[in-house]
Chain A
């Protein structure tokens, strides 16, 4: 088994899994506590528009798709604010509109010869050095921004009215959160694809919140869970010749199913005193 580690593509796959786990663990915690799963799905699918744009314009795929997703997420945030916070409608537009935009641009791109399935469902075993470098840069940016804005993002996640009374720019922080979600989603696309990324954002965080004592702890635990899912999924994909992204997500979903069957930690509400 250790022989496998000598292969460069396996080394890159493990490094990609590590980076994706950090991105999905950190941002997954924020997605779950902010109830933004649907939004994250919309941002992920909008990323397909970025993929189409990259092929149409001949630009590098991951940076283009990441930039496109961030702009789409920010546009959704601004639009929902103008539309009296109808975020669900805006996300629906983002979701389908981004996909349609990507398909149309690819239709208009002459002679493209790409395995689009790898963007939809990921291909962690074929992540190249350039893609890995871009992923590392995105994760560094993501972790740096979350670290810097951790307390404001925590306040935003807990109570926006409170954040406002403490002089925090709630609107700008909301947009920052959307942009960070887009960055995390696009970091994960090469490994598990934009269709499946939502599961790696939510399942590790869902499991982590049961045992975490803080949001930061939830981020760390979720990252560890995500890395475990990636390793097991990768192993299954390698030995059983399965699609790697789907195998990783299958492991994640199965883990949640098992966890749901286990007894939860008992929570005792103390009686009201005085």
Chain B
């Protein structure tokens, strides 16, 4: 039996002594699409950085496919909230994406190797996100939504087993957001996906499992938000906030919104 794609075992994490995450435990099977929901500052990005091995838990442990995430380089793809590119950074779209095709580890990067093969794979990944026609454009010329798709292509070209997307639609306009949302279904076909968002409307239609984050994490292996999760995320009880009716509406509609609800039993 293959190990879970992502596993948190009683993980706690603190920045300078201030707790950010406490007692986080969940196990995500391969092929799942986990929606991670929570307000700003709840610890969602910290959760992602722990999963990538970028942060070390204060206590507990994180496993990616049964191993320390720091030793799982190349198995994890990451799409950040936005491209942290210095204005005017001279890099073409295809060159940026091709970096994702280099073999994991410093030795592979120093060696380089088959540049033509990397370019071909980068073009294929750009085709998948419908940006192949912009391959030779400077990245600086792209819109926010296009940049986000370039980041997805860069993550995909390495064919990761675990793909983590951190608020992929947070900084783009509605048209770009729609395009990203359309991509999400295809991404989960061949890999485990962790989709972090504070935006319920992005996450709910696609997930097979859900985690509510606000220092603690409540995990459900099905696309269902319950009242306990909503209270954790928003700190609210029903009828005491204008958002309540919206949240309630989503809770009531979940069986129909979760596209994979029927086949999520194993998730």
Which residues from chain A sit less than 8 Å from chain B, CB to CB?
Answer: 32-35, 84, 148-149, 151-152, 154-155, 157-159, 161-162, 164-169, 209-210, 212-215, 217-218, 267-274
Is the beta-carbon distance between B146 and A270 smaller than 8 angstroms? Answer: yes
A270-B141 contact given A167-B74, A167-B105, A167-B106, CB 8 Å threshold: yes
Indicate which residue in A32, A158, A270 contacts B99 across the interface (CB closer than 8 Å).
Answer: A158
Interface residues of B in 43-82 (CB under 8 A from A): 49, 52-54, 73-74, 76-78, 80
Indicate which residue in A148, A166, A268 contacts B110 across the interface (CB closer than 8 Å).
Answer: A148
Tell me whether B20 is interfacial, beta carbon within 8 Å: no
Distance between B146 CB and nearest chain A CB, rounded to angstroms: 7
Is the beta-carbon distance between A268 and B77 smaller than 8 angstroms? Answer: no
**Residues of chain A contacted by B134 (CB below 8 angstroms):** 270
Whole-angstrom distance between the alpha carbons of A149 and B158 in the complex? Answer: 20
Distance between A202 CB and nearest chain B CB, rounded to angstroms: 13
Whole-angstrom distance between the alpha carbons of A228 and B15 in the complex? Answer: 49
Tell me whether B116 is interfacial, beta carbon within 8 Å: no
Tell me whether B83 is interfacial, beta carbon within 8 Å: yes
**Residues of chain A contacted by B85 (CB below 8 angstroms):** 158-159
Q: Which of A149, A166, A169 has the most CB of B within 10 A?
A: A166
Is the beta-carbon distance between A272 and B179 smaller than 8 angstroms? Answer: yes
**Residues of chain B contacted by A274 (CB below 8 angstroms):** 130, 175, 178-179, 182
Tell me whether B2 is interfacial, beta carbon within 8 Å: no
Is the beta-carbon distance between B106 and A168 smaller than 8 angstroms? Answer: yes
Q: Please, could you name 13 A-B residue pairs with CB atoms under 8 Å apart, sorted by A?
A: A84-B16, A157-B86, A157-B89, A161-B49, A161-B54, A162-B78, A164-B54, A165-B73, A165-B78, A166-B74, A167-B108, A215-B89, A270-B137
A164-B53 contact given A267-B140, A269-B143, CB 8 Å threshold: yes
**Residues of chain B contacted by A218 (CB below 8 angstroms):** 90
**Residues of chain A contacted by B141 (CB below 8 angstroms):** 267-270
Whole-angstrom distance between the alpha carbons of A16 and B35 in the complex? Answer: 58
Name the CB-closest residue of A to B134. A270
Whole-angstrom distance between the alpha carbons of A121 and B146 in the complex? Answer: 46
Is the beta-carbon distance between B99 and A167 smaller than 8 angstroms? Answer: no
Tell me whether B201 is interfacial, beta carbon within 8 Å: no
Q: Which of A149, A218, A270 has the most CB of B within 10 A?
A: A270
Distance between A264 CB and nearest chain B CB, rounded to angstroms: 10
Q: Determine the main DSSP class of A at the interface with B.
A: loop
Whole-angstrom distance between the alpha carbons of A218 and B90 in the complex? Answer: 7
Is the beta-carbon distance between B104 and A272 smaller than 8 angstroms? Answer: no
Distance between A37 CB and nearest chain B CB, rounded to angstroms: 11
Name the CB-closest residue of B to A210. B88
Whole-angstrom distance between the alpha carbons of A90 and B134 in the complex? Answer: 41
A155-B90 contact given A165-B78, A272-B179, CB 8 Å threshold: no
Name the CB-closest residue of A to B75. A165
Whole-angstrom distance between the alpha carbons of A236 and B147 in the complex? Answer: 46
Is the beta-carbon distance between B99 and A35 smaller than 8 angstroms? Answer: no
Distance between B190 CB and nearest chain A CB, rounded to angstroms: 18
Distance between A231 CB and nearest chain B CB, rounded to angstroms: 25
- Per-residue interface assignment for chain B, residues 119 to 163, with 1 indicating a CB less than 8 Å from any chain A CB and 0 otherwise: 000000000001000100110111101100000001000101000
Indicate which residue in B76, B108, B137, B145 contacts A165 across the interface (CB closer than 8 Å).
Answer: B76
Tell me whether B95 is interfacial, beta carbon within 8 Å: yes
Whole-angstrom distance between the alpha carbons of A152 and B108 in the complex? Answer: 10
Tell me whether B225 is interfacial, beta carbon within 8 Å: no
Name the CB-closest residue of A to B141. A267
Whole-angstrom distance between the alpha carbons of A270 and B179 in the complex? Answer: 15
Whole-angstrom distance between the alpha carbons of A54 and B100 in the complex? Answer: 45
Is the beta-carbon distance between A161 and B145 smaller than 8 angstroms? Answer: no
Distance between B141 CB and nearest chain A CB, rounded to angstroms: 5
Tell me whether B173 is interfacial, beta carbon within 8 Å: yes
Is the beta-carbon distance between B100 and A166 smaller than 8 angstroms? Answer: yes
Distance between B223 CB and nearest chain A CB, rounded to angstroms: 26
Indicate which residue in B15, B90, B95, B158 contacts A166 across the interface (CB closer than 8 Å).
Answer: B158
Tell me whether B92 is interfacial, beta carbon within 8 Å: yes
**Residues of chain A contacted by B182 (CB below 8 angstroms):** 274
Is the beta-carbon distance between B143 and A270 smaller than 8 angstroms? Answer: yes
**Residues of chain A contacted by B176 (CB below 8 angstroms):** 272
